[in-house]
Amino acid sequence: MVDPDKAPSLPHGVSPPLSHAQEKRSEGTEPDLDPMTLLRRTAYSSSASSSILQIAGTFFRAPHSSTAAVAGSTYGVHVFQCPDTVGIVAKLSECIASHGGNIHSVDVFVPEDRRVFYSRSEFVFDPARWPRVLMDNDFSNLSKFFNAKISIVRVPDLEPKHKIGVLASKQEHCLVDLLHEWQDGRLPVDIKCVISNHERAPNTHVIRFLERHGIPYHCLPTSPGNKREDEILNLVKDTDFLVLARYMQILSGRFLDSYGKDIINIHHGLLPSFRGGNPSKQAYDAGVKLIGATSHFVTEGLDAGPIIEQMVERVSHRDNLRSFVQKSENLEKQCLGKAIKSYCELRVLPYELKKTVVF
């Protein structure tokens, strides 16, 4: 436990954390991380067991009517990762309440046997009482005090949407579903461009949709000797992250390093099984009773990045390869959309080397 009398001084205007009884957990360390780029380039040694850790987590949601108490309510979300210690939630709450804000929900995760604290807080506030510049400064002070590795605050109504680039190949089901979700306002993103390595006729549904909504479309045919990566990098340099909507090309390590931001992929199989090409046939030949789709971050390893979302459906001896593929395509669309939304809503945080916390 932390001795409050020996705790470092808080910045001016912030009182010290409250003490309470806390179970002793063994020490653990994690790497320093760029807040908006998760695990792709992180490398560190860890003595943690490879077995699945048991979870110690809590969730609190305030009554819905509590949000009405804040005049001029604007929604905000804050995520935090720091070494576990006494009083973190109390000080986060105090920081918000001291400016007239009101917490709507708090989700906390502390892995067993690891002194690491994760949280995601939703709150409402009045921007007139708590201007964004002051908010950033207050959360920055808390971040420094608790030695946080991740501290991100987002106010969707006052900030631009995440800018994304979408890469696709011949199959269109994921791309079409993504475009329709965006059109309906269900994906909080700004699609800056769609890039494909396959030609599409001018009168196709996708091309007409993109033209109608003013979304640039770029066709960059690839070959084994030319992946057109430099051209892709130039087109997506101003995006916040990329989405691979069944883009059937492997991005090189040089591309990943040059882009330097997160890339979300959809794999038409239930990872870590059936990696690589034609996972539906792999699953069919193996006689599985469950098939799935997996959305994950892209790393240099083939279909090996940290998993964000997975969805499954039962199959039986009555299914054939065609029905496997049809069921998989439905799962892929749902899985990719949910992963993108979770990422934009700050629900995804890095956990150890190959895992994620998804609130």
C-alpha angle 356/341/262, rounded to 5°? 55
Please name the residue that has the structure tokens 């109504």. Answer: 157
DSSP character string of 217-243? EEE---BTTB--HHHHHHHSTT-SEEE
Strand order in the sheet with 189-196: 217-219, 189-196, 162-168, 241-245, 263-267, 290-297, 307-314
What are the pLDDT digits (tens) for 184-213? 999 999 999 999 999 999 889 999 999 999
The pLDDT value given to residue 2: 41
What are the pLDDT digits (tens) for 65-119? 444 455 568 999 999 999 999 999 999 999 999 999 999 999 999 998 878 999 9
pLDDT at 18 > cutoff 70: no
Distance separating alpha carbons of residues 333 and 339, to the nearest angstrom: 10
Say what percent of the chain tops pLDDT 70.
80
Instruction: Give yes or no: 303 in active site.
Output: yes
Q: Give CA separation, 265 vs 247, 270, 321, in Å.
A: 8, 13, 23
The pLDDT value given to residue 353: 86
What are the pLDDT digits (tens) for 330-352? 999 999 999 999 999 999 999 99
Distance of CA 153 to the CA centre of its chain: 14
Contact residues for 131 (Cβ-Cβ < 8 A; gap 6+)? none
Would you say how long the chain is, in residues?
A: 359
- 59 pLDDT tier (thresholds 50, 70, 90): low
- 32 pLDDT tier (thresholds 50, 70, 90): very low
Tell how strand 307-314 and strand 290-297 pair up. antiparallel
Alpha helices in 98-157 (DSSP H): 132-145
* Residue type (1 letter), 125: F
pLDDT at 293 > cutoff 70: yes
Tell how strand 189-196 and strand 162-168 pair up. parallel
The average confidence (pLDDT) of the chain is 85
The pLDDT value given to residue 255: 98
Do 235 and 241 meet the contact criterion of CB atoms below 8 Å apart?
no
Torsion angle (degrees, nearest 10) of CA 31, 33, 39, 44: -20
- 215 pLDDT tier (thresholds 50, 70, 90): very high
- 216 pLDDT tier (thresholds 50, 70, 90): very high
* Residue type (1 letter), 14: V
Burial 329-353, CB ≥16 within 10 A → b, else e: bebbbebbbbbbbbbbbbbbbbbbe
Please name the residue that has the structure tokens 């079409």. Answer: 176
Q: What is the pTM of this model?
A: 0.81
Alpha helices in the chain (DSSP H): 88-97, 132-145, 173-183, 205-213, 229-235, 253-259, 279-286, 321-344
Say what percent of the chain tops pLDDT 90.
77
The pLDDT value given to residue 130: 97
Comparing 14 with 296, which gets the higher pLDDT?
A: 296
**Among 138, 177, 240, 303, which one carries the catalytic annotation?**
303
SS3 content of the chain, % helix, strand, coil (to 5): 30, 25, 45
Both tokens of 77, joined, read 């979300």
The pLDDT value given to residue 72: 64
Q: How many helices (H) and strands (E) does the chain have?
A: 8, 14
Distance separating alpha carbons of residues 111 and 246, to the nearest angstrom: 33
Burial 135-163, CB ≥16 within 10 A → b, else e: beebbebbbebbebbbbbbebbeeeeebe
